[in-house]
Structure 1
Amino acid sequence: MLRRRRLLQVLAGGSILLGGGLLWQTAARSAADEAVRIPPPAQDLPPSGQGVEKAIFAGGCFWGVQGVFQHVKGVQRAVSGYSGGTASTASYEAVSSGRTGHAESVEITYDPAQVSYGTLLQIFFSVAHDPTQLNRQGPDMGPQYRSAIFATSPAQLKVAQAYVTQLDATRLFGKPIVTRLEDKPSFFPAEVYHQDFMTENPRYPYIVVNDLPKVEHLKRLFPDRYRSEPVLVKRPR
């Protein structure tokens, strides 16, 4: 956590250490670990016919969650940010204290005619993070790294609740799901240097160990949903 913060201070100043210049000592899930194969949700939301929709997920460091969903067909935009707290504390330094109520999150804008909310949930639980880790994710610890779904509508909340119950019943994860379902959505975009971090820094050790394997799991487990070219915040499609 401290090394990640020091790196971001360097980034904010306009430079970065890559490759062997920065060793990341971590107890993160190994890159060789497999994502969990899970069934799709029994309940899902049909296309509303009203254009794009938004989903907000929190699953640890937002670099990896954003990077995964930027490679999902039907996603038009995935932005790293903060959810659960107020606008006055929506900054990386404040959120890193763990006392703001915020979680690092990603706001996903998607076309429900191309990808359903249920499919986004399936990807979130299967490859984007480990939903059994309480107030942490890999090497990052604290409530700001909690697993959470910020439902943007009562219909989303109902589908998410049903899916958590369904997945817990399968016992595929080996441990109970601790994902929080939060029905008061908020989202504040993170600082510019956080956006598209995986794409811009593919050799940074944290990304190599923790996040690039997630994209590979997406490609392997959801080949029909995967697209090779990510949709980026700074260079939108």
Structure 2
Amino acid sequence: MKERLTLLLLLYFTLNFSQAFLVGLIADKNINKKKLVYTNEEGKYLIYLPTVHVGKKEYYDSIKKEVDSLRKEGFIVAYESIIFEINKDDFEINAKKARKIVGYNIANINDNNIQSLPKEYSTKNYLLQNNDRVGIVNTDYNVDMTLHNLIEKYELKYGAISLSQCDLQTPLSAKYLCKEKKKLPKYYFTDELRNSEALAKISLLQNKNIIFLYGKGHKFMLHSGFLNNGYELISGKL
């Protein structure tokens, strides 16, 4: 009976965690303890900052401080950010296809355009990551893919993405409520394609010192890729 009561209480508290508390558990406070430092045979450094996309101001300040400091030391800055090409004729259709894969709109999201995102993205006192907050400037190296190429390669593997009337009629800025009996696989879209692209582009910069900002959910695949490209981890823990 006691064990059953304990289990029920645990279930109750698990189901009733506030969004703010859950975000607080997974959000990092400072990037310094998370960074991974690699070096290669040429003696060049790759400093990987495994970022999260929702955090408090002080978290992003810690990233910007690191980026600004290393930039002054001659490091180049590489980062992830899907390239949306909003002026292309197929932008809206591709953005809606991406939304169907991921479950919410990912195109051109900012602090004033978060209605379509999961609730944790609008938790009080937490901010969305953007280039300004982490110190990225226009001349830095975006090692990500275009949305057009992502969708094109995804459909080559899984076939054409069919959009329902709900998909087509729901604006990108609105909450996404369209339901499907079978969800589309998303790892290939969110991780595999983009990680491979990033690693290929980073490999072309190995004669330079690099500070690399990329989501921490990708770090194990990236770590493996760094090792394959001749880097050795000399500081930090996965």
TM-score with structure 2 length normalisation?
0.27
Larger Rg, first or second structure (1 or 2): 2
TM-score with structure 1 length normalisation?
0.27
More helix by share: 2
